[in-house]
Amino acid sequence: MKKIATGNKAVAEAVKQVGPDVVAAYPITPQTEIVEQIAEFVSSGELKSRYIPVESEHSAMAACIGASITGARTFTATSSHGLLYMHEMTNWAAGARLPVVMATVNRSLGPGWNIWAEHTDALQERDTGWLQVYVSTVQEAYDATLMAFRIAEHNDVLLPVMVNLDGFLLSHIMQPLDTVELGDFIPPLNLPHAIDTKNPAGYGGLTGPDQQFLIRWDIERSMRDSVKVIEETERKFAKRFGRKYGFTEDYLCEDADVIVIALGTLGKEAEVAIDLLRKEGIRAGSMRLRWLRPFPKLELKGKQVVVIDRDYSFGRGGILATEIMAQTREELFSVIAGIGGQEVTYEDVADFVRNRRIGTEFWFGVNAHV
C-alpha cells in the first residue's frame, strides 16, 4: 500500500505489521511519535501487543528484557538522553542474548539542551553488542525495522538490533512509503534459552574469570555470524519485495578518485553533491554506510576519502573516521559537520570534497584545520 508518512510513523507501521508480543515505551523528543502511534494501534485493536507505559527509559529496556527472556518478541524506541539512561540495560540485553528491536531517533546530547540530529547518542552504544543500522529515507526506516526482527531473532545471531534515524531530518519528514504484506517473511521467534517454568534455572548469576571471557567471545562470534544473516535477509527481502539494500549504499564509486562516506541523511545529501562535482569534472562518489555493527569491510584502496561525522569522540576525533582509519590504515579528510542539527547542504558537502586536505580534521563552521 502506498502512502505518505514520516520516518517515525514508518517505523510504527513496520512494528504493527510484525506484531511484537510486548512494546515497552517512554516518550522523548523526537522519538515520541513512534510510541504514540503504536499506542493508537494497540488501542484501536490493529495491533495485538501488550503495551507497557513505563516510568523511564531504563524501565522500558528492563521490561523488554524481562519479556524477551520468556521468548516474547519485543520492541521499544528512544532517543538521546533516554538511550543514555538505558545504557546499563542495553549491555544486559546483548549479554543475555536477547533479540530486542529498538528504534533510536538520533539526537544531540546535553549540555546545551539540544533536540536536533546528531549521532553521538547511538555511537556511544557501539561497544555493547547491539547490531546497528542507520537509515536515510522513510522507506528505508520501514524496511530496516521489518528486517531487524528477522535478523535479531535468527538463531545464529540472537543479539538486539538498533534502527537509527536522524531526528527531525528524517523522523518528522514526510516522504512516500510503500508498505508490504509480510506473510511468512519473519518466522516465529524460537529463543533457545527462554525461561521454562517446567525446568527452573538461574539467570544473571555470578560469573567467574574462567567463564566471563567466553560470554564475551560468544557475543563476538554471533556478531561475525550476523554478517551472513544480514546479507541473506536483505537478499530475500529484495527478491520478495523488490527493494535492495547492502552494508553500504554506493553511488558512482567504481571510477571515483575521491569517495564521501557518511551515516544517515548526510549520506543521501552527499549523492546530490556527487552529481554537482561530476559536472565539474571531479570524479567523486558516495558510500553511505548503513551498518556500523557489524562494521563492513570497505573497498577503498587507491581512493581519497572524505568522511563526514555528525558526532565526535573528544580527544580522538570523528568516530566514523576513526573506525575507517583503523580498518584501512589509510589517511583521510575528516569533516565534523551537522553537530546538534547544524545545517549541512549538498553545496557544503561538495565544498568539503573540493577543499579536502587528506590527513587533517576540519570542523565545519569553525573554519580551522586541526
Cα–Cα distance measured from residue 215 to residue 72, given in angstroms and rounded to the nearest whole number: 22
pLDDT of residue 202: 81
Dig out the grid coordinates for 307 from the structure. Answer: 568522511
Helix/strand/coil for 108: coil
* Domain 250-369 in this protein, CATH class: alpha beta
H/E stretch holding 360: none
pLDDT at 354 over 60: yes
pLDDT of residue 368: 55
H/E stretch holding 272: helix 264-279
- Closest by alpha carbon to 296, among 362, 230, 346? 230
CB atoms closer than 10 angstroms to residue 172: 15
Task: Give the model's confidence band at 201: pLDDT under 50 very low, under 70 low, under 90 confident, else very high.
Answer: confident
pLDDT at 277 over 80: yes
Beta bridge pairs of residue 51: 23
Long-range contacts of 192-200 (CB under 8 A, 24+ apart): 192/155, 192/158, 193/69, 193/97, 194/69, 194/70, 194/71, 195/69, 195/70, 195/71
Query: At a CB cut-off of 8 Å and minimum separation 6, what does 158 contact?
Result: 97, 98, 99, 152, 191, 192, 222
Dig out the grid coordinates for 257 from the structure. Answer: 578518485
Percent of the chain with pLDDT over 90: 95
Lowest average pLDDT, out of 84-93, 94-103, 233-242, 323-332, goes to 323-332
Tally the residues of the chain.
370
pLDDT at 164 over 60: yes
- Closest by alpha carbon to 293, among 76, 119, 127? 127
pLDDT of residue 203: 79
**Residue spans in the chain of domains classed CATH 3.40.50.970:** 2-241
Task: Give the model's confidence band at 369: pLDDT under 50 very low, under 70 low, under 90 confident, else very high.
Answer: low
Cα–Cα distance measured from residue 327 to residue 320, given in angstroms and rounded to the nearest whole number: 11
Convert the pLDDT of each residue in 291-349 to its tens digit: 999 999 999 999 999 999 999 999 999 999 999 999 998 899 999 999 999 999 999 99
pLDDT at 364 over 70: yes
**Residue spans in the chain of domains classed CATH 3.40.50.920:** 250-369
Task: Give the model's confidence band at 204: pLDDT under 50 very low, under 70 low, under 90 confident, else very high.
Answer: confident
Amino acid, res. 251: Y
Cα–Cα distance measured from residue 330 to residue 300, given in angstroms and rounded to the nearest whole number: 9
Dig out the grid coordinates for 1 from the structure. Answer: 500500500
Task: Give the model's confidence band at 55: pLDDT under 50 very low, under 70 low, under 90 confident, else very high.
Answer: very high
> Model's pTM, two decimal places?
0.97
Q: Topology of 2-241 in CATH?
A: Rossmann fold (3.40.50)
Task: Give the model's confidence band at 370: pLDDT under 50 very low, under 70 low, under 90 confident, else very high.
Answer: very low
Lowest average pLDDT, out of 39-53, 194-208, 320-334, goes to 194-208
Task: Give the model's confidence band at 197: pLDDT under 50 very low, under 70 low, under 90 confident, else very high.
Answer: confident
**Average pLDDT estimate for 138-147:** 98
pLDDT at 149 over 80: yes
CA distances to 141, 162, 233 from 241, rounded to whole Å, are: 15, 22, 12
